[in-house]
Structure 1
Amino acid sequence: MPYEIPIDIKKEIEDIFYPMVKIRSDTNTAHEKKMEYFFMNFFEQLEYFKNNKEHYGTYPIKGDSLNRSVSWGLVKGYGADTIVLINHNDVVDIEDFKTLKDYAYSPGELEVELQKIRGKFSAEVREDLESGQYIFGRGTADMKAGASIQLSLLKRYSSTKNLKGNILFLSVPDEENISAGMRSAVELLDNLKQNFHLHYVITINSEPHQRIDKDTGIIYEGSVGKLMPFIYVRGSLSHAGKVFEGFNPVSLLALIINKTNLNLELSDSISGEASPPPTWLSIRDSKTHYDVSMPLSAYGYLSVLTLNKEPSEVLKKIKEICHEAFAELIEDMNVKYKIFAERKNKSFAMLPWEAKVVTYKELYDEAYDNYGGKFLKDYKSILEEAERKVKAGESSIADVNFYLVEEIYNYINDLAPRIVIGLAPPYYPNVSNMNIKNLEDRCKNLSRKIRDFSLESFGQPYIKENYFTGISDLSYTYIENADAVAHSLEGNMPLYGTLYSIPLDKIQNISMPCLNIGPWGKDLHKLTERVLKEDLFYKTPRILHYVISLLLEW
């Protein structure tokens, strides 16, 4: 390896890490802009970038209400081969810090305060606090540790003469929200590929890994996919004292939730790995005030993680479950209504309800069939209002889908109970090197080579997992069926192409293998978030440098 990292890499990382953690950069807030200034200031201080001003900058996220940008720096050597280093610079909020909020971004002070209340924590947290082997604080693990390692290596490579290959550093905002940063970074990658004639060898992320065995590290050669199906249930109004004259949508939504939450049929499994089963993220009804009527509608959305399923396949299964739940509830209602009628000595007649489940596209088409051009004209205004609500912070990009369904119902003549299903943003494709058909030889068996290097260098084993299940921006580094995915999203995601989009064609153009090599982190998004010092300052930078050296044939 002709380009050795310095012995004092710890000092270089510290000089980047602690100032970076100090910067508050809550996701989906104006605070994220501060990180852009940090990176630009960093690049401006380096001799390489002083002499190559066109090799770094910020790339604005189109239409972003917070005016955020992707920060990037390219160290250009000779040849086209390029390693892409990505990280995210946003962090989750600090609501759980309560009285310790003033210390959240100051690891040294926070550790002192945590020591004072260590009796409240688990044995593992107390042990880690007392060991002095971890750095506590918001963003220390997720993921300013990884970003600091990457930036310190970039600085080293920028001062290396006759560098073979290129190193492209990308730091994105919004990963903890809907990955607006990475979706824009794909466009940047496509532009840089053309402008600098780059050949992308691999994308390396440095998200923290979480261990099963404390002595065994984990490398990921892919990332789990994510879909967010939404389910809207339209009921039929009645007074609470006449429950069999109406249809309560809450009862049907509750049954659907019971049938889908943690449903293992919606969990993928491949080669001994499995995606976590789905869970519901939000449920509510349409009532805005108290009265004695049942609600007219109820809705919610759930998170479905995938290893190999496509959106259309997941929605098909969700639709089947919804229809099954609908039929079961109607049958149960009829049984109870018959008993109720007998108690009142009244004749019994089957309730009029029938199970009906449609997609958002089918509901839209029905409205168009009913009102034609008037609906199309009005729907344009409805979409504009939805966009205004999201940008004004009156609604989330997920909840605004229910506003759209409710508005479409003004053009629906059939008001019998039914279910409407669709997809809410965001969408993360599942990716894994194991699924890449023409994987370059140098990218094969990377995990085995890393394991051998780590055993030899540190006496520590690393194991491979094909998917990082924490959801990451690596999802946007590879796709081979862009047209099919686009068609699936266009038909089922109401906001696709307006408030939300994915440059699928550009992802296919820049597609490359991926890898996640990051330090050991614990309790991500929690008060006791922490990163292992040994990984941050010593092991992970050396492993990362080894992989870069291997792939660029140094």
Structure 2
Amino acid sequence: MMRNIQKENRLRERTIDLVAVSSVVNSEGERIMADKIKAILSDFDIFKKFPGHLRICPVNDDGMQRYSILALVKKPGVSKTVLGIGHFDTVAIEDYGSLKPYALAPQELAVWLKNSSQDSEVLQDLENSDFLFGRGSLDMKSGIAIWLELLSEFNQQHTGKNLLVCFVCDEEGNSKGMIDAIPFIRQMIDDHQLDVISAIDTDYTSPQFSGDTRRFLYGGTIGKILVQFLCVGKEAHAGDPFAGIDANELVSALIEEINMNTAYCDKNDLDVTVPPITLSIKDDKQQYSVQTAKMASVTFNVATIGKDIREWEKMLLEAADKAQKRVLDKIDKSYQDYCSLKGIQCSPLLNQVKIKSYHNDLNLDLNLGDNEDEREFSLRYVKQQALSDPGAQIILFLSMPYYPHHTLDKNIAKHQEFVDEIQQCAPGYTYLPYYPYISDLSFVSRANPKDIDAIRQLIPGYDKLNRVDWTSLDSLNVPMMNMGPWGKDAHKFTERVYVPSILDVYEICRAYLAK
């Protein structure tokens, strides 16, 4: 089939136009980006005729007044509807360093990268005009361009399915955009008597290894639990270290046990996740002193596809027990070696570290502070619990955000039909069961009720932090697919999208909608 150069160039220009607007997550740029998308949509003939088919979905209690947008194009008498999803926020641009002024200008950025990059693969792609560089080019303003182009073409005489697109903010943060849009999606479905048969996210896809040129269809998404440990030690003067237990040493042992350890990869018959990775480490010392840290904490990103929350709890408590034993053994050995060096008699240290989970059964009344990070808020809860127990301890708890994992079940007829239809429209694409990065697809299908009960207990301050109406997902509960433009180095300053892949995904979506 001949390549539609005119359409490809149009998609390229849409992407460049969107990239030019800064929309870094947790910034007012997200609102500015939403304003731009709303203005583009409002100029389409279909929405001039039906302005009520455009709705804004404000993020609740948001000081930046961010919002998501719903856009419905519907044929009279047709109920079958595809839910399209795309996020317009990006990660920050600080990683561009001296090239920061060009992060949102793909053509200028390419010129500067040619003169500064020493990466052979990047230099090779810079010589290929089919690659478009810049923050958000891949993740995922090229995916947004696809939905805008499809909506712009819609007319009431088309054959096939209706299209309801949700353009969301905050995906790179806490998915507040998607979560707070769910009630509006439900209302739009009810108002127009829509039968949502599937959900498609056009988030980016990338090689799985160097030289991998395959294109992917992902029939689901991994989940995520944000695992935190509060380590409470025994303070000691730096001149008498054996009199205490260093909280930072406990954190270090947890990192040694869990971080990048494939024993903590989640797996099932379909796939395997990446191992956990640390996201933050800190202790509670606010200023310099010669006293060791009383409390320290570590946060791990843990990807899920199979285990339920209680299975993870058991496994992580066992990890904490291994870590504390390693620390106490090290202290004992070091103390014995020190006594030998000094020529003095050792006294028993009698150290103990308790291992436990946090449970939301304390009668605490803490309030989320203005601009307080949700993870810090949960940590405050756990520190309050720790104060009731003076001994050394490691407390396991979870934090927001929580993302359920999902995948299509080919034993369910409507799931298999969906896969078959998409694959007919996407010859040469490889089907995989899980999108390997967290995505808003976590919130378009039913979550495991046992997991929801577990996170209510394990996330400190859950009732004040949770914004998901889990029962509303039961009524949505549609088969899902991620198929986005292909490129390289998302979240890096060499982020780039392969422009022909934008056209490919556009044509797949167009063909599926026409069926």
TM-score range, shorter chain: over 0.9
The Cα shift of 1:214 comes to: 4.7
Count of aligned pairs: 510
Q: Give 1:546's aligned residue.
A: 511
309-318 or 19-28, which moves further after superposition? 309-318
Q: 2:39 aligns with which of 22, 38, 41?
A: 41
Which stretch of structure 1 is more off in the superposition, 266-275 or 47-56? 266-275
- Tell whether 2:148 aligns with 1:151: yes
> Match of 1:421?
396
Tell me if 1:139 matches 2:136: yes
Give yes or no for the alignment of 1:442 onto 2:443: no
Matched, 1:267 2:233: no
Displacement after TM superposition at 1:496 (Å): 1.8
Alpha-carbon distance in 2 for matches of 1:343, 1:154: 77
Is the CA contact (8 Å cut-off) linking 2:408 and 2:479 kept in structure 1?
yes
Whose helix fraction is larger, Structure 1's or Structure 2's? 1
Matched, 1:173 2:173: no
Q: Would the aligned equivalents of 1:151 and 1:169 in 2 still touch at CA under 8 Å? A: no
1:336 is paired with a residue whose SS is helix
SS at match of 1:125: helix
| Counterparts of 1:248 and 1:511, CA distance in 2 | 48
Once the two structures are overlaid, the 10-residue window that deviates more, 335-344 or 57-66, is 335-344
TM-score by length of 2: 0.93
- Given the alignment, which residue of 23, 26, 34 partners 1:25? 23
The 5 A counterparts of 1:7-406 are 8-77=6-75, 78-117=77-116, 120-157=117-154, 159-161=155-157, 163-211=159-207, 212=209, 213-271=211-269, 273-342=271-340, 344=342, 346-361=344-359, 365=361, 376=363, 379-380=364-365, 383-384=366-367, 387-388=368-369, 391-392=370-371, 395-406=372-383
* Contact 2:82 2:199 (8 Å CA) reproduced: yes
2:164 match: secondary structure: strand
Secondary structure of residue in 1 paired with 2:282: strand
AA paired with 2:439? S
Q: Aligned-pair distance for 1:240?
A: 1.3
Question: Which one-letter code corresponds to 2:452 in the other structure?
Answer: A
TM-superposed CA distance for 1:348, in Å, is: 3.8
* Residues in 2 aligned to 1:472 and 1:346: alpha-carbon distance in whole angstroms: 59
1:543 Cα deviation from its structure 2 partner = 1.5
CA distance in structure 2 between the partners assigned to 1:354 and 1:435 by the alignment:
50
Distance 1:210 1:15, change over 3 A: closer
Read off the aligned partner of 1:509 and give its amino acid letter. S
Aligned CA distance change for structure 1 residues 186 and 310 (closer, same or farther; 3 Å) = farther
Q: Tell me, what secondary structure is at the counterpart of 1:501? A: coil
Cα distance, 1:275 vs. partner?
0.6
1:532 to 475, 478, 498: 498
For the residue of structure 1 that corresponds to 2:132, the secondary structure is strand
Confirm or deny: 8 A CA contact 1:434 1:466 kept in the other structure: no
1:486 aligns with 2:452: yes
Structure 1 residue 417 displacement after superposition: 0.3
Displacement after TM superposition at 1:12 (Å)? 4.1
Q: What is the letter of the counterpart of residue 113 of structure 2?
A: L
Over 3 Å counting, the alpha-carbon distance change for 1:430 and 1:436 in structure 2 is farther
Residue 487 and residue 272 in structure 1: after superposition, are their counterparts in 2 closer, same or farther (change >3 A)?
closer
Q: TM-score, normalised by structure 1?
A: 0.87
Displacement after TM superposition at 1:38 (Å): 1.2
Deviates more, 1:415-424 or 1:62-71: 62-71
1:520 alignment partner AA: W
Q: Which amino acid aligns with 1:322?
A: A
Note the C-alpha offset of 1:349: 4.0
Q: 1:160 to 1:115 in 2, by over 3 A?
A: farther
Q: What is the CA–CA distance in structure 2 between the aligned matches of 1:145 and 1:160, rounded to whole Å?
A: 26
Q: CA deviation at 1:10?
A: 3.1
Deviation at residue 242 of structure 1 after TM alignment? 1.4
The 10-residue stretch of structure 1 (173-182 or 36-45) with the greater mean CA deviation from structure 2: 36-45
- Letter of the 1:422 partner, please give it: F
Match of 1:470 among 425, 437, 446: 437
Q: Displacement of 1:61 after TM fit?
A: 1.4
Q: Is the 8 A contact 1:85 1:167 kept in 2?
A: yes
Q: What is the DSSP-based 3-state SS (H/G/I as helix, E as strand, rest coil) of the residue aligned with 1:305?
A: strand
Q: 1:49 to 1:6 in 2, by over 3 A?
A: farther
Give the drift of 1:449.
2.5
Cα drift, residue 285 of structure 1: 1.1
- Summarize the Cα distance change of 1:167–1:6 in structure 2 as closer, same or farther, 3 Å threshold: farther
SS at match of 1:497: helix
Deviations 1:130-163 (A, max 9, x none): 1212111111111000110111011112x24154
Structure 1: which 5+ runs fail to align?
369-375, 455-460
Moved more, 10-19 or 229-238: 10-19
- Unpaired runs of 5+ residues, structure 2, are none
